[in-house]
């Protein structure tokens, strides 16, 4: 197996008591390029060369919150080991969560380019849009259990679902090149109850959220939103949001290209047509994929491939 370096990151769960129970200080992420508009721990960052984790937490607390914290007051909440099916060392993370309820100074947003709000939240009622792996650690803190190693991403699989013409075309970037009611029913049956990831173009071609499924839309447009859509600004973000489950990738062409190398299953409707269109499905290499099942219909066939 290949080896790679992992840069650890630290997170500060600053807590206080209130009449309603313990609270934790969270920041609302600004234009950082990652999980923008989501709530996160009050301070966090990478451990720099020569630092210990407690030293890094104290430095981040000073830089981001203007607080002074004594290392001796810190205690470990959890270690979160994160992976991503897309692979690569950038998406393999070791996150160390530490907590304290003792500090000096008045907390403030010391880096307004990174955070746009700072607020105390009840540990028992964390915000819905809390960065998923941070929620995992803070819920562990709320449980009162001893420190533990938590994992995320290692139980996730990708299934690509597409209708593909004989020439590899899946569309023209705006609409589907055919109307197959039976295949729409098949798509519903395949994905119902699951998590779907798709690009903005695919969402626009569908035009709405499909009932009975979570839909995560990947878009570069920071201002975009739509009813029923969860928004991610990169594929790693989308997969972090999806969690440890089978994730159905529903298009378009660029998203298929970026995920087929990490997929474990393909569910393909092979359509006996050769439409015009600029969007194509990646080649299905028989050296990598074996046909597991085929259900022939009138003018098309449903074929399932498994990675060899």
Cis ω for the linkage preceding 252 (within 30 of 0): yes
Question: In which residue ranges of the chain is CATH 3.90.79.10 found?
Answer: 9-152
Q: What is the 3-state secondary structure (H, E, C) of 183-226?
A: HHHHHHHHHCCCEEEEEHHHHHHHCCCCCCCEEEEECCCCCCCC
Q: How far apart are the first and last CA of the chain?
A: 18
**Is the Cβ–Cβ distance between 197 and 214 less than 8 Å?**
no
What percentage of the chain carries pLDDT values higher than 90?
Answer: 88
Taking only the tens place, the pLDDT of each residue in 19-49 is 999 999 999 999 888 899 999 999 999 999 9
pLDDT tier, 117 (very low <50, low <70, confident <90, very high otherwise): very high
pLDDT at 172: 80
3-state secondary structure of 54: helix
Candidates 302, 261, 259, 250; CA nearest to 285 is 261
Is residue 7 over pLDDT 90?
A: no
pLDDT tier, 103 (very low <50, low <70, confident <90, very high otherwise): very high
**115-122 and 23-29 as β-strands: parallel, antiparallel, unpaired?**
antiparallel
Q: For residues 257 and 197, give the distance between their C-alpha atoms in angstroms, rounded to a whole number.
A: 13
CATH topology assigned to domain 9-152: Nucleoside Triphosphate Pyrophosphohydrolase (3.90.79)
pLDDT at 92: 81
What is the b/e burial string over 276-291, where b = at least 16 CB atoms within 10 angstroms of the residue's CB? ebebbbbebeeeebee
Q: For residues 116 and 13, give the distance between their C-alpha atoms in angstroms, rounded to a whole number.
A: 18
Question: In which residue ranges of the chain is CATH 3.40.430.10 found?
Answer: 157-307
Candidates 29, 26, 48, 45; CA nearest to 37 is 29
Q: For residues 221 and 267, give the distance between their C-alpha atoms in angstroms, rounded to a whole number.
A: 29
pLDDT tier, 2 (very low <50, low <70, confident <90, very high otherwise): low
Torsions phi, psi for 221 (to 5 deg): -75, 110
Taking only the tens place, the pLDDT of each residue in 140-187 is 999 999 999 999 999 999 999 999 999 999 988 677 888 899 999 999
Report the largest interatomic distance among the alpha carbons of the chain, rounded to a whole angstrom: 73
Q: For residues 209 and 206, give the distance between their C-alpha atoms in angstroms, rounded to a whole number.
A: 8
pTM of the model: 0.90
For residues 89-103, give the mean pLDDT.
90
Is residue 91 over pLDDT 90?
A: no
Specify whether the backbone of 193 is left (phi greater than 0), alpha (psi in -120 to 50) or beta.
left
Name which CATH class applies to 157-307: alpha beta
Candidates 290, 240, 283, 280; CA nearest to 261 is 283
Q: For residues 4 and 249, give the distance between their C-alpha atoms in angstroms, rounded to a whole number.
A: 27
Residue 241 CB coordination number (10 Å): 20
């Amino acid at each position: 197996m290949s080896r790679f370096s992992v840069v650890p990151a630290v997170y500060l769960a600053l807590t206080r008591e209130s009449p309603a129970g313990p609270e934790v200080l969270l920041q609302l992420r600004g234009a950082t390029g990652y999980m923008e508009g989501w709530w996160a721990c009050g301070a966090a960052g990478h451990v720099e060369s020569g630092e210990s984790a407690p030293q890094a937490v104290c430095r981040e607390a000073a830089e981001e919150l203007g607080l002074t914290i004594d290392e001796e007051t810190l205690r470990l909440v959890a270690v979160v080991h994160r992976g991503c099916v897309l692979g690569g060392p950038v998406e393999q993370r070791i996150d160390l969560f530490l907590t304290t309820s003792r500090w000096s100074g008045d907390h403030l947003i010391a880096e307004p380019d990174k955070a746009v709000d700072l607020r105390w939240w009840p540990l028992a009622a964390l915000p819905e849009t809390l960065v998923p792996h941070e929620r995992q650690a803070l819920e562990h803190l709320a449980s009162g259990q001893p420190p533990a190693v938590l994992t995320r991403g290692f139980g996730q699989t990708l299934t690509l679902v597409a209708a593909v013409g004989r020439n590899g075309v899946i569309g023209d970037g705006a609409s589907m090149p055919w109307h197959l009611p039976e295949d729409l029913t098949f798509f519903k049956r395949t994905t119902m109850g699951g998590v779907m990831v798709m690009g903005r173009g695919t969402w626009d071609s569908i035009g709405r959220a499909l009932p009975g499924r979570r839909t995560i839309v990947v878009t570069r447009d920071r201002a975009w939103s739509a009813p029923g859509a969860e928004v991610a600004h990169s594929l790693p973000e989308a997969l972090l949001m999806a969690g440890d489950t089978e994730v159905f990738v529903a298009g378009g062409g660029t998203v298929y290209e970026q995920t087929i190398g990490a997929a474990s299953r393909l569910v393909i409707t092979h359509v006996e047509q050769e439409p015009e269109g600029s969007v194509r499905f990646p080649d299905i290499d028989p050296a990598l994929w074996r046909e597991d099942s085929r259900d022939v219909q009138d003018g098309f066939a449903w074929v399932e491939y498994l990675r060899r």
